[in-house]
Chains A and B, each alone.
Chain A
Amino acid sequence: MSGLPIADILPVALPDPSADRLSTLFDAHYERLYRLARRLVPTTDAAGDLVQDTFLKAARAVASIPIGSTDEEAWLVRVLINLRRDEWRKTAVRRRHQEEARRSTRVCSDQEAVFVARATVWRALDRLTPRRRAVLVMHELEGLTIPAIASLLGVSGITVRWHLSKGRGDLARVLRSHGGESHGKR
């Protein structure tokens, strides 16, 4: 009567294959992405934001996400790392100031010393580019092999080895430059 297609006047949401796909992607990959994100950013909130932004990007591009668990995981991981890279670049200056402020804090107890030592390592990671950091995290903490990381990131094994080597060296150098109060012997 009104000339409107039925779909336009239905009072309920219609099934949407895109939403179904996204829902499946979320359930399959959220935990993995959160764990990676948490190891790439300073706080739990930032990790949650990063994962959410990754899936929001996926929501806008569902049709272009490759099919298959491995390929879709690789797609999501790359998006996550790229998003982190954008944020990392934006906050580079502020990070340096915070770094200097933290260095001036004093350690008052053994417990705090342990905390500061961990924080120092984790802040040193902040100096690495997100891709290099991701390679380091995936290899050293997640236990992924070099070919597996190469496949996830869409780069060659040689590139992964290069990032690993540079990442370890950068990390050691940054820790040394922190004066060695916490990690002087490393």
Chain B
Amino acid sequence: MESVRDMLRDADPLRHEPPRLEEERDGIRRAVLAAASEAPSRSSMRWRINRTPAALLAAGAVSVLSVAVLGSKIWSGGSATLHAAAVRFEMRLADTAFSPGLREARIALTGGVVYLHQEIIVTNDDISDSQVIDGERPSRFGVAVTLNAAGAEKMRRATARHVGELIAMLIDGEVITAPRLRSPIGASAVLSCDCTKAEAERIANGMRIR
């Protein structure tokens, strides 16, 4: 008769799996320390500008998410958080109802309220390219974001489990849009910010600064 301890030991994945790769550990370490430099302290901006680029950059398979967003208040409204050079980009899951651990945030373009998950899915470090693209209205523009392989994998993993829920796109901590996920996202997303060309260029260029 096998005891619970024996059964657990026999089934213990740590006995059968190879040790974790150093690079995986280092990747987590890097992400954590980068987050520390962005933590609530007011000194975060200069840290962000000079952060060391992530090591993993590779081409990823592309799937496209089109995010439709209305409004144009934030960019013409002179958001004080936009930095002249760097912009901080994040994507997080979000809910429409509050639950413990979620943070309330207002969607800059629509004024609606969402509740952000604590976990950041991707950041500037996960971007391999960002480009200005035509918007849905004449003379208005959006930003197409392409994630590197690591970012695309994180995005796939996170969004596959949350189809039907919201995903928030943040610039410098402000929620620009929070569309509902209709399918898992891969390597590409479009920030349809309804920006002027200059604003879209500033965001696209600033996103690539790590």
Contact = CB atoms under 8 A, between A and B. Distances in A.
Binding between chains A and B:
yes
Interface of A: 7-8, 10-14, 16, 18-19, 22-23, 26, 30, 34-35, 38-39, 44-45, 48-49, 51-53, 55-60, 62, 86, 91, 94, 117-119, 121-122, 125, 136-137, 140-141, 168, 171-172, 175, 183, 185-186
Contact of A86 (B1, B36, B37, B101): B101
Given A55-B28, A55-B32, A140-B5, A48 B20 contact: yes
B8 A16 contact: no
A56 B17 contact: no
Nearest to A9: B46
Contacts of A44: 13, 17, 20
23 contacts: A10-B46, A13-B50, A16-B36, A16-B37, A16-B41, A18-B41, A23-B29, A30-B28, A38-B13, A45-B157, A48-B24, A48-B28, A49-B157, A53-B118, A59-B32, A60-B39, A62-B36, A119-B11, A122-B13, A140-B4, A140-B5, A175-B7, A185-B1
A141 B20 contact: no
A185 B6 CA distance: 14
Interface in B16-74: 16-17, 20, 24-25, 28-29, 31-33, 35-37, 39-41, 43, 46-47, 50-51
A43 B140 CA distance: 44
A172 B2 CA distance: 11
A56 B120 CA distance: 9
Contacts of A140: 4-5, 8-9
B137 interface: no
A134 B116 CA distance: 27
A18 B12 contact: no
Contact of A59 (B7, B20, B25, B35): B35
| Top-10 shortest CB links A-B | A121-B11, A118-B11, A55-B32, A59-B36, A59-B35, A140-B5, A52-B28, A22-B36, A19-B36, A168-B4
B11 A122 contact: yes
Given A18-B36, A62-B39, A39 B5 contact: no
Contacts of A86: 101
B37 A13 contact: yes
B85 to A, nearest CB: 12
A20 to B, nearest CB: 9
